[in-house]
Structure formats: structure tokens, C-alpha cells
Amino acid sequence: MEKDKVKKDIQNRLKRIEGQVKGIEKMVDNDAQCKDILIQIAAIRSAINKVGTIILENYAKHCFLETESDSSLNKIDDLVNTLTMFIK
């Protein structure tokens, strides 16, 4: 995907996630069933993971390769550290 398309896709996904969070706030205010709230939380978690995956893919394909001054070992360490932070 082109850089601007990726950015727009991420922004759209984050706006949808923001709407989902506001929906959960309303559900809590309205004393919705815990099961229904948890289902929405799971949906948000999945959506956040997808955004993270898109950003990681973009990082690996573009940002990661731009750091020419780093040795290959440093690049690998950087990628592993970034992946580790993402999956925590």
C-alpha cells in the first residue's frame, strides 16, 4: 500500500475504535450485560491488533530499511524489540 493510503487506513480504523470505546462507555452507563460489554472489548482488542499489525508491516517494509547506518544485527535487535513491545 502507498504511504498515504496506509496512513488513511490507520486513521479510519482508529476512528472506528474510538467509536467502539464510546459505545462501551454508553453500555456501562446503561448497565448493559457484562457479556455484551466483553464481546465489544474483544472486538476492540482485535481492531487494535490489526492496526498494530499494519503499522508493524509498514515499519518492516519501509522505516526499518531506512536506517542505513545501523548494522544488520542492530536492525534485527530493533525489530525484535519492537515486535516484543507489540505482543505484550
At residue 47, does pLDDT exceed 80? yes
Domains in the chain: boundaries = 3-87
Query: Class of the 3-87 domain?
Result: mainly alpha
Question: What digits encode the pLDDT tens for the residues 19-34?
Answer: 999 999 999 999 999 9
Q: Give the pLDDT confidence of 55-77 residue by residue, as tens digits.
A: 888 887 776 666 555 667 777 78
Lookup: cell for 81: 524489540
* C-alpha R_g of the chain: 17
Rounded CA separation 38/13 (Å): 20
Task: Between 68 and 41, name the one with better pLDDT.
Answer: 41
Q: At 32, give phi and psi (nearest 5°).
A: -65, 165
The pTM of the full predicted model, rounded to 2 decimals, is 0.76
Mean per-residue pLDDT over the chain, rounded:
87
Is 47 exposed, middle or buried (CB count within 10 Å of its CB: 0-12, 13-18, 19+)? Answer: middle
At 22 the three-state DSSP class reads helix
